[in-house]
Every structure is written in structure tokens, then in C-alpha cells.
Amino acid sequence: MSLVITGASLLGEKTGDLYVDDSGMFVDEAPSGAETLDADGLVALPGLVDLHTHLREPGREDAETVLTGSQAAALGGYTAILAMANTSPVTDTAEAATRVWELGREAGLVHVQPVGAVTRGLGGEELAELGLMHRSRAGVTVFSDDGKCVHDARVMRRALEYVKAFGGVVSQHSQDPALAGPAACCHEGELSGRLGLPGWPGIAEEVIVARDVMLGRHTGSRVHVAHVSTAGSVEVLRWAKAQSIDVTAEVTPHHLLLTTDLLTGYDPTYKVNPPLRPQEDVDALREALRDGTIDAVATDHAPHARHDKEHAFVDAAFGMVGLETSLGVVRTALPDLSWSDVARVMSVTPARIAGLTGQGQSLAPGSPANVVLVDPDASVTVDRDTSASLSRNNPWHGRGLTSRVVHTVYVGRVTVRDGALA
Ligand code: DOR
């Protein structure tokens, strides 16, 4: 199928038409019989790429499936998502990775790229089948025990050495379990003391970030820091990048806009790991995203069924959904970020980190026909009950966000039209 996307402002700059079909983008030449998609007044970006999505299939299909997560992703403007390994069973074998990849293809709305576990069963001790997962049809290149930290330095070193052989990357959930403590459920500070909630100190994250950049330097392998949440971690990353250490980092939309002060009502919607931090950390994260110290925005979309989330704060599951709102949150948190910078942090760089050469690169001729068309001026009030996700743990419910995803095109096909699944 061919498509002419007319009148969009390309990366927020000059206005032009885009000609696409399932083989990619063209310039200046409408394929005969092409359908027209009116994008007058909209901004065109390459399809978004999410480095950090939790789909709950297999195992917790009551919270999310590959299909519903793909639908939520398409509605959020994504054309590729990386599916984290903490499913049940864990994605720690070539078979498990291939199954997730196949489910993604069957859903057909975005490219679903499985993340492989670093250690067997996320147990932190024995390396998973890293090479076999890489060589499988799924072609896994990103490995993570996300939800848990690869806390044993020796295991982390071996994993980095192993993935280096095929250009893989380890995405670390940086959190020293000894410093964090088993009961921690929010940021450790004056407020956690007042609320009587056990807290995580920022240092529990920062010591692992510091250790891992040194392991990255030692092994010459690639380290990626998932969901950076503190100013101290930013400082370490800035130092590491100045030393040309091969480290990349992501920040979530919620850590760019929400602060720990929201916990005063003990609402478990705001319970997330790593926790929401004070405003000074949020400010440091925004600055780091602007100046490139943090490379990418990744959602950490973490759907949870009501019966896991609607509990007293200390007992509720960690996590919040985020695929459908991420672009609006980024626009709201950083209105000064140019559209080409938005494309850089939400599409181009995440695609590069994940080694997704066929995804999210640019709007230039020859690129894959993955495009998102955004109304830059729209103001949207989020309603969790209209979400495609199966879960309702949505911290943005009732909030106003800037900009709206109007159309999404994946491999030349319209997946979202006028803000609804096509
Ligand atoms: O809040 C979180 N939820 N953080 C994680 O690292 C894991 C995730 C989940 O799987 O629910």
C-alpha cells in the first residue's frame, strides 16, 4: 500500500509531503494509486522507539498482552518497543525470546524486540543463554534483569565480556540491594521519614552506576543505564562520557515530571522503582537530557492488574503505565526541546542503542516508513479508561498534557488514524 502524507512539518521544520510504502520513504514522487493522509499543521517525526516496555505475556496476560501493549504503543506514536525479560517464564532462552518476537509479529502494530535476561531466571548468579538468544530469530542484542539489579560485580563483568563479542549491550537496573534494603518503597528523605515508609537512598543507584561505568571501561563493552533517577547518577554519567567510556542512559517520562511529594496521600499509583525523587533530581535529569548526558527517554511502561496495585502503599506492586502518554509528558516537562531533539531522544538514539537498524532512523528517503504525526498545540486531558492497555495504573489520569499523537504509520501502514487504532 502506498501513502502520501501531506502538509506535515518535518521534524518541526520545513513543510513537505512524505511518500511512503511498505518498502520505505520516497521523495517528490507520489506512487500511483496512493492514499492521502492529511497532516496539515502536524509535526512528522520518525516512529518512536521505546527501550523499556513491560509486556506481561507470557504469564500475566491479565495485566497486559503483546497485542494490547502493541496497541498502547502505536497510540503513543511508537513503531518499535523492547519487551523486558521479567515475564513468567523469564525470557532467558532462545525459545522464550523467539516466542515474544513471534507474538509481536502476529500483533503487527509495532516491531516488538525481546530483551533477554542477563541471568537465568533473573536469579543474579548464572548467565542466561546470551549467545543463543542473540543467534535466534529474535536477534536479541539488549540484555537486562530489569526489576532486579545484576548486583554481583563478577557476573556483570562476565556478561559485559560475553555480549561484547556480538556488539550487545547490558541494560542495568542500577540498585544496590544491600544499600536499598528489602523493604524500600519510596525515595529515602525527610518525607519518607514523616510518612513512615522505608526509603531507598539515591546512593543505592549511584554506586552501581559508578561501578558499571568502570566495568564498561575495563571490558570495553557497552553499558546502558536504565531509568536514571538521581542527580548523583547524572554526575557519574557526565564524568564517564568525558572519559569516552561507552555508556548510554535513559530517563523515564515520570522521572522528568513527577516528584516524591506526590506520596503524601499514600496513593500506590505513584509507587515505582526507581522511586520518584525530589525536584532537584528532576531538574538535573531534564538538564542531562537536554545536554546529551542522558541519551534517551524510555517509558518503563509497567502495567499491573488492579488486584496487584490497589493495596496499601507498602504492599502494592511497583510501576506505572506510560506508552500512550510519553510524548505528551516529554513535551510538557521540556517545552523548550526542539522537535529534532525529541526525535533524537525518543527515536534515533534508542534505535541506535538497541541496534535496530531498520527502525526509527529518519524521515529521509530510503528510511523505513515508520512515522508519527503529532499535533504540537493540542492539550489533552488523560483518561485512563480510554487506554488500550489492560491496566489502569496510570499516574497521568486527569492531567493535562501538551501535544497529541494523531496518526502513526508502521512499515507504510496506518496503525493509528485520528488518535484511534486504525
Ligand atoms: O516500577 C517498576 N516496575 N520498576 C521495575 O524495574 C520493574 C517494573 C515492573 O516490572 O513492574
88-97 pLDDT, tens digit per residue, is 999 999 999 9
Percent of the chain with pLDDT over 90: 93
Q: pLDDT digit string (tens) for 300-358?
A: 999 999 999 999 999 999 999 999 999 999 999 999 999 999 999 999 999 999 999 77
Residue 73 alpha carbon to ligand 1 centre in Å: 17
270 Cβ below 6 A of ligand 1: no
222 Cβ below 6 A of ligand 1: no
Residue 146 alpha carbon to ligand 1 centre in Å: 7
What domains can be seen in the chain, in order of their start residue? 47-362 (3.20.20.140)
**Per-residue pLDDT averaged across 387-398, rounded?**
98
Question: Which ligand 1 atom minimizes the distance to the CA of 146?
Answer: 6
pLDDT at 155 over 70: yes
Q: Choose which residue among 90, 91, 318 to substitute to test ligand 1 binding: the one with the highest number of ligand atoms within 8 A of its C-beta.
A: 318
pLDDT at 359 over 80: no
Alpha-carbon torsion (277, 231, 342, 73), positive or negative: negative
**pLDDT of 28:** 64
Residue 189 is labelled as binding a ligand: no
Q: Choose which residue among 51, 52, 54 to substitute to test ligand 1 binding: the one with the highest number of ligand atoms within 8 A of its C-beta.
A: 54
From the candidates 176, 281, 300, 375, which is the catalytic residue? 300
Note if 295 is an active site residue: no
pLDDT at 373 over 80: yes
**pLDDT of 364:** 85
pLDDT at 130 over 90: yes
Please indicate whether residue 390 or residue 20 has the higher confidence score (pLDDT): 390
pLDDT tier for residue 377 given thresholds of 50, 70 and 90: very high
Residue 218 is labelled as binding a ligand: no
How does strand 400-410 pair with strand 371-381? Answer: antiparallel
**In whole numbers, what is the pLDDT of the chain averaged over residues?**
96
pLDDT at 116 over 90: yes
pLDDT at 392 over 90: yes
pLDDT at 26 over 90: no
Residue 320 alpha carbon to ligand 1 centre in Å: 8
pLDDT tier for residue 361 given thresholds of 50, 70 and 90: confident
Question: Which ligand 1 atom minimizes the distance to the CA of 319?
Answer: 1
**Per-residue pLDDT averaged across 54-80, rounded?**
98
**Per-residue pLDDT averaged across 399-404, rounded?**
98
Residue 272 alpha carbon to ligand 1 centre in Å: 7
**Per-residue pLDDT averaged across 246-253, rounded?**
98
